[in-house]
Amino acid sequence: MQPVGTTLGAAVLGGIPASWYTRAASAGTDVLDLPADLLDRASSAPAEVLIVAGEVGGGTGGLVLKAAKEAFTEAALVTGIAGAGVMVVAAIWALVTLQSVSSNLDLAEEHEHQLH
């Protein structure tokens, strides 16, 4: 069960920053009056925005970088909040489901019993 949880967690929490960054970077760079192809490239990935900012240069390039930094920070914040939310739900689930388990349970003895 652990590999499934790890895989799902990585997929969900890994997809959030990418999609959030794309949305936020697109919104932040729309006001810069750049050609559509540069806007698409600038909002596609943090590495690509460095190339676009270098191509544009000057003050506009700096504004492109600023918008990308803000989008990246926003994406990281949203992902952190989502991760914290998942952990709170998991903690509540564990509390509810493990409430009936005895605190005096000797796991070593139980494991030994299952082996024989």
Each residue of 20-42: pLDDT tens digit? 888 887 777 777 777 888 888 88
In angstroms, what CA-CA distances link 43 with 15, 55, 79, 82?
Answer: 15, 15, 18, 22
Which residues lie closer than 8 Å to 89 by C-beta, 6 or more apart? none
Do 64 and 34 touch, CB atoms closer than 8 A? yes
pLDDT value, residue 81: 93
**pLDDT tens readout for residues 55-100:** 888 888 888 888 888 888 998 999 999 989 988 998 999 888 887 7
